[in-house]
Amino acid sequence: MLATTGAAAQLYEFGETYHSFFRIFGESLGNINAEQRSVMAHFDTYIIDEASMVSASQFDLIDKRLRQVTKVDLPFGGKQVIFVGHLFQASPVVTDQTKNEYEEVTGEKYDDVYASIFFFDARSFDPSTFKIIELKKTHRTTDVKLQTYLKNLMLGENLSAVCAYFNAKYRDPSDIDYEKAIYITNTNSKVDKYNESQLQTLIASGAKIEISKAKWWNWDLDNYGRLIKEPAPTELKYCVGARIIFNKNTEDFKNGSMGEIKEIKTVMDYVKDEEIQIVTVLLDSGKTIFVSQVTWNKYETLTNGVDEDGNNEVTREIIASYTQFPFQLGWGITGYKSQGKTFNKIIVDV
């Protein structure tokens, strides 16, 4: 399972970015050794998440790398590659610097080679070799009218009716009870400022603030010297009554699950022989869960001999770890974080 961003990759237990796995540096392929070549050629199927963010040139580099390591002159070296994503979501990040780097590497101008920045205009993209599967069932709402208007909005169709539908939902700010509304905006800095203001309101009413400092090993830089984004705040403030949003997938909650802290207590962990903190959370779904700190791991894929059936076996070695509570304050979130959610009341600041 590969992803386009580190944040997306961290949602999966063994997730990794395609740049890191295939040793793609900017607009060129990095050198690889025999073991790395063996690992890349090992898997039958690659799943690449957030496919809308894969640029045309990156698509070609993935194809080139797999042909190189398999020594098979077929699309992606004959491997099955599944690109998953919504093509109306985030676009590839292709800047003037990207295009200049591409020209330095290849000797060709980016805009002369590619009709657009999107992967379906890549040199190696042949529609006849791909099976297009459209997932049509909407899980976020059963409201057929809302589904229709969202699709109209996405495609730029029937816009007068779409605007009338959404504008009918609008209420004058003076008529709104803000207590249960969630603040949605476009930058993390605005979200942090709003969450801090809500936390200060609880402090003023007598809430006791807890501070959890993350512990990490090797997390600041990966093994290529690049910064790794933290999966959770390095210093997390929270208290009873705080609204929170989770940032990891587990059996009890998913990335994006929301709730309210109901209790914070310290208990003895006899396995670790130390005291740990347990946070009781009432999820918006109505379920009560108990949350302690968790660890995110970053893996390096390695070959390690053969399995009991004599097949080549690929193992993963932990090269970095990060430990913190798997949530952050959730009175306000970014529009990006709000994808796929349904709220009763929102304040939108764009």
Say whether pLDDT at 249 is over 60. Answer: yes
DSSP state of 241: T
Higher pLDDT, 196 or 6: 196
How far, in Å, CA of 276 to CA of 162, rounded?
51
How far, in Å, CA of 21 to CA of 224, rounded?
11
pLDDT, mean over the chain: 89
Q: What is the secondary structure of 4-72 as a DSSP string? A: SSHHHHTTSTT-EEHHHHHTEETTEEPP--HHHHHHHHH-SEEEESSGGG-BHHHHHHHHHHHHHHHT-
- What pLDDT was estimated at residue 227? 52
Q: What is the pLDDT of residues 2-46, one digit of tens each?
A: 888 777 777 666 678 899 899 999 999 999 998 889 889 989 999
Phi, psi for 37 (deg, rounded to 5) = -60, -40
- What pLDDT was estimated at residue 229? 75
Higher pLDDT, 116 or 170: 116
- Least confident among 54-68, 181-195, 278-292, 303-317: 303-317
139 — pLDDT class (breaks 50, 70, 90): confident
225 — pLDDT class (breaks 50, 70, 90): low
Say whether pLDDT at 281 is over 80. Answer: yes
CA distances from 166 to 146, 170, 174, 324 (A): 9, 7, 19, 39
Phi, psi for 334 (deg, rounded to 5) = -75, 160
In a 13 Å sphere around the CA of 242, the CA atoms on its Cβ side amount to: 29
Mean pLDDT comparison of 104-113, 136-145, 215-224, 290-299, highest-scoring range: 104-113
- What pLDDT was estimated at residue 31? 94
Closest CA to 257 of 235, 229, 288, 234: 288
Higher pLDDT, 328 or 313: 328
**In the predicted model, what is the mean pLDDT of residues 182-192?**
92
Closest CA to 212 of 329, 124, 37: 329
- What pLDDT was estimated at residue 5? 78
Phi, psi for 159 (deg, rounded to 5) = -70, -30
Q: What is the pLDDT of residues 120-131, one digit of tens each?
A: 999 999 999 899
- What pLDDT was estimated at residue 345? 81
Question: The tokens 């063994």 sit on which residue?
Answer: 14
- What pLDDT was estimated at residue 184? 94
Rg of the chain over CA atoms, in angstroms? 23
228 — pLDDT class (breaks 50, 70, 90): low
